[in-house]
Amino acid sequence: MSSYSIVYDRWRTDPEGFWMDAAQDVDWITPPTIALDTTNTPFYRWFADATCNTCWNAVDRHVEAGNGDQAAIIHDSPITGTQHTLSYRDVQEQTARLGGALQNLGVEKGDRVLIYMPMIAEAAIAMLACARIGAVHSVVFGGFASNELAVRIDDCTPKAVITASCGLEPNRTIPYMPLLNGAIEMASHKPAACIVKQREQLTADLTQGRDHDWDAVVPGAQKAPCVEVGGADPLYILYTSGTTGKPKGVIRANGGHLVALNWTMKHIYNIEPGDVFWAASDVGWVVGHSYIVYAPLIAGCTTIMFEGKPVGTPDAGTFWRVISDHDVKALFTAPTAIRAIRQVDPEGDFIGKYDLSCFHTLFLAGERADPATVEWAAEKLNVPVIDHWWQTETGWTIAGNPSGIELLDVPIGSAGVAMPGYDIRILDEGGNEVENGTLGAIAVKLPLPPASLPTLWGADDRFLSSYLATFPGYYETGDAGMKDENGFLKIMARTDDVINVAAHRLSTGEMEEALARHPDVAECAVIGVTDALKGQAPVGLICLKGGTNRPHGEITAECVLRIRETIGPVAAFKKVGVVARLPKTRSGKILRATMVSIADDTPWNMPATIDDPAVLDEITITLKELGYASKA
């Protein structure tokens, strides 16, 4: 029996005992006596009778163990040309001071704090400071526009906001305060206070009485101790796109999050205390939460915060320079980043310019890792390239290749095998398991493991309807796939209309809502088409209101701008076509999947329920004009 099989079978035989053993490797204030609370199923709670503090586990315990001088966070910004290292002792000092400053502004245990920050070390400090004082943080990606912020402010009702004066892109500076001010003006809920980190590239005008300069209120604040919280108390809320357009507030509880993430560093990523781990993501996404900030620090590692791009800051060798400069053992990034590097440097010439002898493994996630990208990276880097699959909702790997247990011979194109905690099934529409090699809906038998969402913020009913209603007794992942004859899982597609743009999950429904608000648009649809670089790209199709005589080019340009203003540049929304009508079923459902197949030149059958087949001919012409459907 393989080492992986032994570990996985140990979990299957005694799941609660498995996680109680893993719980011995983190610090508790009150240790758990039971692993799983099943008194209110399907709202399962892990380590509910324990108390702990996540900041203590990520920071203070390492200082107490004599490792205060070890590097905790390395901030590397090729945009500003600076590098800065914070030791564990530095992080302890800064989180304690910021925690004290928040308490001085009235933030207490259980209060929410919204964090809207660029990729600077203070973003991690802000998250840890909230954890330190028992506040619940909600990080919003710095590229989102005012209305996106406003929706989240109204949903989680933060007492305070932590932000910076600006974010930096390779060729532009993004002022944050106008976006934040616009959001607060739109929102019904008004945060009482904002702490603003002024950056030298752009200083912000502060609103008297509400806004406080970080450098004025944090350094002199009394140090806050770590506050005792319940194992099932929320650590953070992270919003993820929903098909209705309204984001879903995924909750992460303290105790299970600590145990599961600590376990993953050794067993999935093969990372030991003192190693340098780099997740090239953003703190606004789940990868940034789990594997930039929390998991590496909980495990006593050094983490990299990178403010740059895989290409253009300054070149396609930036990733390899960071690995070489900081002795990175493993890199976790999205396939999009590797595709971008390959596109600019197809021969991998930049790789040879750096000493990568420290580098052991490349991990890919966030979207499907196409075989060409995996093969290129494996050949040029000469290290294992591991694809793995998980979601915002789970917080860590559902299926992967557990390199710290056993490096399995996973076929290219597969996301690997189920990790302990996940009983993965492939189901048909009736909830019956299908045979290996058959496409179906990917579901996970309940209960979900520690660190997975226990529910959605303020929305228990939506949690049930979104994830548990389709297949009773299972968590519906929303992904479709199959298992091969050896049990390796292959992810094929989303089963809803959430699309993956450069590893960012975005709702087409949300984009449609924005387009529909254009005064000349009567009806619209947004589909995700295959994109060689970003994985998927959104394409809009709009029907104009009768009597609209303006040039189509003006209207489509306004539509592109509207998405940029409401969703943000992260949507990469650039193409809109004007059509007379959209293809629909007789019941009125828009045939999005059929339009995607036409655009992608993949086989499709005429839907039996289509209202008027001739509409698809018109759609095909428009998609060709936009650069798609070349073979149609």
Would you list the DSSP string of 192-214?
SEEEEE-BTTB--PPPTTTEEEH
Give CA–CA dist 262/285, Å, rounded: 19
Residues 189 and 152: beta-carbon distance below 8 Å: no
Eight-state DSSP code of residue 292:
I
pLDDT above 60: residue 587: no
pLDDT tens-place string over residues 87-130 = 999 999 999 999 999 999 999 999 999 999 999 999 999 999 99
Q: Quick one: residue 612, left, alpha or beta (phi over 0 = left, psi -120 to 50 = alpha)? A: beta
Q: How confident is the model at residue 247 (pLDDT cuts 50, 70, 90)?
A: confident
Q: What is the pLDDT of residue 501?
A: 78
Q: Is the pLDDT of residue 589 over 80?
A: no
Average pLDDT over residues 203-223: 97
* pLDDT bracket for residue 536 (50, 70, 90): confident
Asked whether 154 and 189 are in contact (CB, 8 A), the reply is yes
Please give the average per-residue pLDDT across 450-478, as a whole number. Answer: 97
Q: How confident is the model at residue 480 (pLDDT cuts 50, 70, 90)?
A: confident
pLDDT at 274 over 70: yes
Q: Give the C-alpha separation, 425 to 607, whole Å.
A: 28
Least confident residue range of 187-201, 204-218, 336-350, 493-507: 493-507
pLDDT for 268: 98
Average pLDDT score over the chain? 93
Q: What local confidence, expressed as pLDDT, does residue 493 receive?
A: 63
What DSSP string runs through 19-59? HHHHGGGS--SB--S-SEE-TTTTS-EESTT-EE-HHIIII
How many alpha carbons lie under 13 Å from residue 613 in its C-beta half-sphere?
A: 5
Predicted TM-score of the model (pTM): 0.86
- Note the CATH architecture for domain 501-625: 2-Layer Sandwich (3.30)
CA distance 207 to 442: 49
Query: pLDDT tier at 498 (50, 70, 90 boundaries)?
Result: low
> Cα–Cα distance between 397 and 387 in angstroms, integer?
10
pLDDT at 93: 98
Tell me, what's the pLDDT at 243?
Answer: 52
Phi, psi of 452 (to 5 degrees): -75, 160
Q: Which of 214-228, 301-315, 338-352, 373-387 has the lowest mean pLDDT?
A: 338-352
Predicted confidence at residue 608, as pLDDT, reads 55
Phi, psi of 504 (to 5 degrees): -100, 120
* Mean pLDDT across 471-480: 94
CB 459 within 8 A of CB 237: no
Q: For residue 533, what pLDDT is reported?
A: 84
Does the pLDDT at position 169 exceed 70? yes
Q: Which residue has the tokens 């932000």?
A: 163
Residue 209, phi then psi, degrees to nearest 5: 90, -25
CB atoms < 10 A from the CB of 357, how many?
A: 8
Q: Which neighbouring-strand residues pair with 441?
A: 427, 480
The answer to whether 245 touches 513, Cβ cutoff 8 Å, is: yes
Place of tokens 């989240």: 152
State residue 137's pLDDT score: 98
Confidence at 588, pLDDT banded by 50, 70, 90: low
Task: Please report the pLDDT score of residue 98 as a whole number.
Answer: 98
**What pLDDT sits at residue 461?**
97
CA distance 44 to 39: 8
Cα(155)–Cα(462) distance, integer angstroms: 14
- What's the alpha-carbon Rg for the chain, to the nearest Å? 24
Question: Between these two residues, 29 and 141, which has the higher pLDDT value?
Answer: 29
In terms of pLDDT, which residue wins out, 281 or 584? 281
> Once rounded to an integer, what is the mean pLDDT over residues 304-324?
96
What are the residue ranges spanned by the domains of the chain?
87-227, 501-625
Mean pLDDT of 383-397: 97
Report the CATH number of the 87-227 domain.
3.40.50.980
Residue 225 makes CB contacts below 8 A (sequence gap 6+) with 96, 132
Confidence grade of residue 434 (pLDDT, cut at 50, 70, 90): very high
Which H helix or E strand runs over 553? Answer: helix 552-566
pLDDT of residue 629: 82
Do 499 and 538 meet the contact criterion of CB atoms below 8 Å apart? Answer: yes
Cα–Cα distance list, 177 to 160, 205, 554, 569 (Å): 14, 8, 30, 17
Q: Say yes or no to pLDDT of 1 above 80.
A: no
Which residue is listed with tokens 């990523």?
Answer: 269
Strongest mean pLDDT among 10-14, 572-576, 605-609 = 10-14
Q: Cβ(583)–Cβ(610) under 8 Å? A: yes
The answer, yes or no, to whether residue 159 has pLDDT greater than 70, is yes
Q: At a CB cut-off of 8 Å and minimum separation 6, what does 589 contact?
A: none
Q: What is the pLDDT of residue 606?
A: 81
Burial class (CB in 10 A: 0-12, 13-18, 19+), 82: exposed
- Phi/psi of residue 39, each to 5°? -75, -15
Give the 3-state secondary structure of residue 429.
coil
Average pLDDT over residues 472-476: 97
What pLDDT digit, counting tens, does each position of 38-90 carry?
A: 999 999 999 999 999 999 999 999 999 999 999 999 999 999 999 999 999 99
Give me the percent of the chain exceeding a pLDDT of 70.
97
Q: Which residue has the tokens 């101790």?
A: 225
